[in-house]
RNA sequence: GGGCCCGUAGCUCAGCCAGGAUAGAGCGUCGGCCUUCGGAGCCGGAGGCCGCGGGUUCGAAUCCCGCCGGGCCCGCCA
C-alpha cells in the first residue's frame, strides 16, 4: 500500500527511533500535517521537544537529529527549516507509484483496520407517531455516515433502529384515533398526517382534560401489557414506521434490524436484566430516605419505584445490555420489509422466525442529542461494571434548532427569540420530506437554466438534494448546535455537497471524452496544481482513520471538500484532452481517472450520491 | 444549587484533543476570468484585541483558573 498514511507512519517510527539515540524518554512528538502547505507535506516538532532537555536551540537539535532519521529517499525529501521544524516532502516518484497503484487496483485499494470488530450502531429511533424533522435528520445522517465509515474500514456492522411503541407519544396518538374521532385514513403522507394533525391536536386536548388523561393512562397500560388496544395500535404504528423509513431511505440510510420496545417489554427482558444487576451488586434496595423502598442504580438513579414498577431508564439499560450480549437473546427474527438498496430489513418478533440472527457486539454505538448524555453515560458506566471488555460508545451531537426567520414561517407569525427549539408536541418543526422537496425544486430550476437537455431531471435533482442535506448536517462539529435556516439550506454553492458532486461529474466527462484510455505510467512530470491534487488524493486513508479514531466526520467532510477544491484548481489551470504533449496528456488522464476513483470512494462513505452529469 | 456544551471576519463555520512557523474556508461584499475538456467553477481585494481577565511556558486561538454572554441537562415523569 502506497499512501500518505503509510509514509507518515514509517517516518513517525524512524523519528522516534532516532530520538531514542539521545536517551531521552519522549512524549508528545508531533509527526503530521504542517499548518501551512508551503512548509512541506509532513512535519515534525521533535527538535522543539528535545531542545528543552538538551539545552540547545531547536535549530541546533534539528540539524543533528536530521542525520539520524532514516527514510527512503526515493519517496521523501527532507528540509531543515531555520525555525527548527524538520519538514518532509513527497517526491514525484512517490506520486508515480501512487498513481499506478490506483490504476492497477481500479481504486484506492483496501483500507483495513488491524483488528476487525463486530459493531452495532443504533440511530434514528424516532417515536413512531410523527414524521422525521431536520433534527432527526442529523441523527440519521451521522449514524448512517458512521455506519458507512466502519464498513469501509472492514468492520462487521449491524444497524439498529429502536421503535418505542409503548410510550406516551404513541398513547397520545391512539387517544386521538380511538376517542377523539380522527379518521384512520388520510390522503396525506401517513406520518405527516399523524404527527401534524392527530398527535398535535390530541396532545392539546389531553392536556386540557382530566378525563382524557385518564384514558391515556389506560392506553399506556394496555400498550405495555399487549392487550386489545395494543393490537389496535400495532398496524397504525407499523404504517407510520414504514413512512419514516421512506424518509430515511430517501437520504441514503439503511438498517439491518428494527427493535420494538414492546418486544422487550412483553418478552420480559427487564426481569432478566434486573436479576443480572442484582447479582452483580449494581442496584441496591434502599430502606430509608427519599428513595425509600426503591431499587437504585450505582447509588445515582432510581430504576424501580417504590410501587415495584420500572422507570424508563430501565428499558434503555436493558436494550443496551442486550446489544452487548450481557443478557440472553431469545428473540425470533423475521423480515419486516425490503429496502431500496436490495437488502432485507429484519424485525424482532416473539412468535416465529429465525433465531440467533444477531451476535452480540464488541462495540455498540448509539447516536443521541446532547440532552440525553448524562443518562447514556450512566448506562455506559453500568455496562462497564458488568463487562470490562465490551465497549458502549455514545456519540452525542448538539441540537438542531430553527432560526427566527424559519420559525416565523412555521408559526405564521412573530417570534421573539433568535433561536427556536423544535417541538413535535407543539407542531414547531421543519420536516425532512419538506426540506428534500424544497431543495429539489431549487435544483430543478438550476438544471432547467443550465442544462435543459439533461435526462431524468427529477432523479438528478433528488440526488443533489440528498448531497446538500447530508453534507450540511455532517459538516459541523458534533458539539455544535445547528441553527437551521431554510434560506441557507437552499444554497447549493460553495462549501456544499453538490460542489463535491460537481467535480465528480467534471472528471467523469473528461474520461468519457477520452474514451477511458487509461494506462500505467513510466514517468511523471508534475506542476504545482497536479502535485497539490495528488497530495490530497494520497491523504484519503489518513482521514478515514482519523474519522474513526476520533469518532468525528467533520475533518473527513472538510478533507473531501479540499480534495474537490484541488481538483477544481487543476481543472482551471491545466487542459487534459487538448494537451499537445502526448506524455503529459496520458499523465493527466491518469490523474483524472485516479481522482474520480477516490472522490467516488469518499462520496460513498459520506453518502453523497454519484452523478455523472448534473 | 450541581453539571454539560458553545463563544474565532458582517453571517455560517474549520483549526483546539497531541501549544510552535504569516489564524484559514464558505456565504455576503467589491473587482477580474466566458477564445469554457460544463461558470453549481477559478483568481484577487476589503474585512480578526481568536468573548474578557489572569496563570503556566522561550512561545497560547490551542493547556489551567476565574468571570461574562448564549444553549441545554439534573424527578420514583416518559
Q: What is the Cα–Cα distance from A317 to A383, expressed in whole angstroms?
A: 8
Q: Is the CB of A577 under 7 A from strand B?
A: yes
Q: Is the CB of A571 under 7 A from strand B?
A: yes
Q: What is the Cα–Cα distance from A443 to A490, expressed in whole angstroms?
A: 9
Q: What is the pLDDT of residue A250?
A: 98
Does A614 have pLDDT greater than 80?
yes
Q: Is the CB of A53 under 7 A from strand B?
A: no
Q: Is the CB of A378 under 7 A from strand B?
A: no
Return the closest nucleotide (C1') to the Cα of A613. B38
Q: What is the pLDDT of residue A200?
A: 96
Q: Is the CB of A575 under 7 A from strand B?
A: yes
Q: What is the pLDDT of residue A110?
A: 87
Query: pLDDT tens, A351-393?
Result: 888 998 988 999 999 999 999 999 999 999 999 999 888 899 9
List phi, psi (to 5°) of A338.
-95, 140
DSSP H/E element including A376? helix A373-386
Q: What is the Cα–Cα distance from A77 to A316, expressed in whole angstroms?
A: 55
List phi, psi (to 5°) of A126.
-90, 140
Q: Which residues pair with A400 in a beta bridge?
A: A482
Please check whether residue A482 is in contact with residue A489, taking contact to mean a CB–CB distance below 8 angstroms.
no
Q: What is the pLDDT of residue A55?
A: 81
Q: Is the CB of A168 under 7 A from strand B?
A: yes
Strand B proximal residues, A:64-123, Cβ < 7 Å:
81, 83, 85, 87
Length of chain A measured in residues: 614
Q: What is the pLDDT of residue A184?
A: 97
Q: What is the Cα–Cα distance from A315 to A270, expressed in whole angstroms?
A: 7
Alpha helices in A153-260 (DSSP H): 168-179, 190-192, 200-208, 210-225, 228-250
Alpha helices in A475-539 (DSSP H): 486-489, 497-513, 528-538
- Taking the CA of residue A480 and the C1' sugar atom of nucleotide B5, their distance in angstroms comes to 8
Task: Give Cα A355 distance to the centre of its chain.
Answer: 30
Query: pLDDT tens, A132-169?
Result: 999 999 999 999 999 999 999 999 999 999 999 999 99
Task: Tell me the average pLDDT across A520-540.
Answer: 95
Q: What is the Cα–Cα distance from A60 to A57, expressed in whole angstroms?
A: 5
Does A27 have pLDDT greater than 80?
no
- Taking the CA of residue A28 and the C1' sugar atom of nucleotide B18, their distance in angstroms comes to 6
Query: pLDDT tens, A536-588?
Result: 999 999 999 999 999 999 999 999 999 999 999 999 999 999 999 999 999 99
**What ipTM describes this predicted complex?**
0.95
Task: Tell me the average pLDDT across A214-239.
Answer: 95
Q: Which of A386, A195, A423 is nearest to A277 (CA)?
A: A386
Return the closest nucleotide (C1') to the Cα of A86. B21
User: Where is mean pLDDT largest: A32-46, A173-187, A413-427?
Assistant: A173-187
Domain ranges in chain A?
Answer: 4-90, 404-489, 497-606
The set of strand B positions with any atom below 7 Å of a protein CB reads 3-6, 12-15, 17-22, 24-28, 37-43, 58-59, 61, 70-78
CA pseudo-torsion sign A143, A145, A148, A149: negative
Question: Residue A95 — pLDDT band, cuts 50, 70, 90?
Answer: very high
Query: pLDDT tens, A419-478?
Result: 999 999 999 999 999 999 999 999 999 999 888 899 999 999 999 999 999 999 999 999
Q: What is the pLDDT of residue A20?
A: 85
Q: Is the CB of A375 under 7 A from strand B?
A: yes
Return the closest nucleotide (C1') to the Cα of A28. B18
Order of strands across the sheet that contains A283-285: A283-285, A295-297, A301-304
| Residue A290 DSSP SS3 | coil
Does A28 have pLDDT greater than 80?
no
Please give the CATH number for the structural domain made up of A497-606: 1.10.730.10
Return the closest nucleotide (C1') to the Cα of A306. B76
Task: Tell me the average pLDDT across A96-119.
Answer: 92
Task: Tell me the average pLDDT across A116-145.
Answer: 97
Between A540-550 and A582-606, two packed helices, what is the crossing angle to 10 degrees? 20
Mean pLDDT, rounded, of chain A: 94
CA pseudo-torsion sign A320, A324, A326, A329: positive
The answer regarding whether domain A4-90 maps to CATH 3.30.1360.70 reads yes
Q: Is the CB of A52 under 7 A from strand B?
A: yes
Q: What is the pLDDT of residue A112?
A: 86
Amino acid at each position: 500500500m502506497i499512501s500518505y498514511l503509510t509514509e507518515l507512519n514509517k517516518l513517525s517510527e524512524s523519528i522516534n527511533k532516532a530520538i531514542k539515540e539521545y536517551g531521552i524518554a519522549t512524549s508528545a512528538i508531533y509527526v503530521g500535517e504542517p499548518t501551512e502547505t508551503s512548509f512541506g507535506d509532513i512535519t515534525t516538532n521533535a527538535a522543539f521537544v528535545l531542545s528543552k532537555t538538551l539545552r540547545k536551540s531547536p535549530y541546533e537539535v534539528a540539524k543533528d537529529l536530521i542525520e539520524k532519521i532514516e527514510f527512503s529517499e526515493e519517496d521523501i525529501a527532507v528540509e531543515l527549516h531555520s525555525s527548527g521544524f524538520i519538514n518532509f516532502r513527497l517526491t514525484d516518484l512517490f506520486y508515480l507509484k501512487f498513481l499506478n497503484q490506483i490504476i492497477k487496483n481500479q481504486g484506492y485499494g483496501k483500507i483495513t483496520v488491524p483488528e476487525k470488530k463486530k459493531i452495532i450502531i443504533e440511530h434514528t429511533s424516532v417515536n413512531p407517531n410523527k414524521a422525521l424533522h431536520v433534527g432527526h435528520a442529523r441523527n440519521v445522517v451521522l449514524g448512517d455516515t458512521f455506519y458507512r465509515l466502519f464498513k469501509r474500514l472492514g468492520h462487521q456492522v449491524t444497524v439498529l433502529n429502536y421503535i418505542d411503541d409503548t410510550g406516551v407519544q404513541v398513547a397520545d396518538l391512539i387517544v386521538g384515533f380511538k376517542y377523539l374521532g380522527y379518521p384512520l385514513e388520510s390522503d396525506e403522507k401517513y406520518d405527516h398526517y399523524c404527527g401534524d394533525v392527530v398527535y398535535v391536536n390530541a396532545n392539546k386536548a389531553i392536556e386540557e382534560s382530566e378525563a382524557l388523561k385518564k384514558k391515556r393512562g389506560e392506553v399506556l397500560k394496555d400498550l405495555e401489557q399487549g392487550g386489545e388496544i395494543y393490537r389496535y395500535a400495532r398496524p397504525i404504528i407499523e404504517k407510520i414506521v414504514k413512512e419514516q423509513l421512506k424518509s430515511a431511505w430517501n437520504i441514503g440510510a439503511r438498517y439491518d434490524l428494527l427493535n420494538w420496545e414492546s418486544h422487550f417489554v412483553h418478552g420480559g427482558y427487564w426481569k432478566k436484566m434486573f436479576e443480572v444487576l442484582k447479582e452483580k451488586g449494581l442496584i441496591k434496595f434502599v430502606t430509608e430516605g427519599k428513595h425509600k423502598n426503591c431499587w437504585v442504580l450505582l447509588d445515582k438513579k432510581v430504576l424501580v419505584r417504590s410501587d415495584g414498577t420500572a422507570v424508563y431508564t430501565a428499558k434503555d439499560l436493558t436494550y443496551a445490555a442486550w446489544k452487548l450480549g450481557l443478557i440472553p437473546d431469545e428473540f425470533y427474527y423475521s423480515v419486516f420489509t425490503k429496502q431500496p438498496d436490495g437488502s432485507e430489513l429484519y424485525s424482532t418478533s416473539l412468535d416465529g422466525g429465525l433465531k440467533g440472527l444477531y451476535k452480540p457486539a464488541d462495540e455498540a454505538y448509539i447516536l443521541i442529542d446532547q440532552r440525553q448524555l448524562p443518562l447514556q453515560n450512566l448506562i455506559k458506566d453500568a455496562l462497564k461494571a458488568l463487562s470490562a471488555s465490551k465497549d458502549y460508545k455514545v456519540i452525542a451531537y448538539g441540537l438542531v434548532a430553527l432560526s427566527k426567520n424559519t420559525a416565523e414561517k412555521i408559526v405564521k407569525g412573530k417570534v421573539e427569540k433568535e433561536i427556536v427549539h423544535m417541538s413535535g408536541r407543539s407542531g414547531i418543526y421543519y420536516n425532512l420530506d419538506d426540506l428534500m422537496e424544497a431543495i429539489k425544486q431549487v435544483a430543478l430550476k438550476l438544471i432547467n437554466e443550465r442544462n435543459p437537455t439533461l435526462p431524468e431531471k427529477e432523479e438528478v435533482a433528488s440526488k443533489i438534494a440528498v448531497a446538500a442535506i447530508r453534507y450540511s448536517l455532517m459538516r459541523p462539529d458534533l458539539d455544535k448546535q445547528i441553527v437551521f435556516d431554510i434560506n441557507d439550506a437552499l444554497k447549493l454553492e460553495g462549501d456544499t455537497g453538490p460542489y463535491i458532486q460537481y467535480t465528480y461529474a467534471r472528471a467523469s466527462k473528461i474520461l468519457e471524452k477520452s474514451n477511458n484510455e487509461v494506462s500505467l505510467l513510466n514517468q511523471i512530470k508534475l506542476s504545482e496544481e497536479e502535485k497539490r491534487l495528488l497530495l490530497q488524493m494520497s491523504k484519503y486513508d489518513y482521514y478515514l482513520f482519523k474519522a474513526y479514531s476520533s469518532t468525528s466526520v467533520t475533518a473527513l467532510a472538510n478533507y473531501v471538500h479540499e480534495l474537490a477544491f484541488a481538483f477544481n484548481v487543476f481543472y482551471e489551470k491545466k487542459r487534459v484532452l487538448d494537451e499537445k504533449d502526448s506524455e503529459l496528456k496520458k499523465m493527466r488522464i491518469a490523474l483524472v481517472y485516479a481522482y474520480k476513483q477516490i472522490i467516488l470512494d469518499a462520496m460513498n462513505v459520506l453518502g453523497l450520491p454519484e452523478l455523472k452529469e448534473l
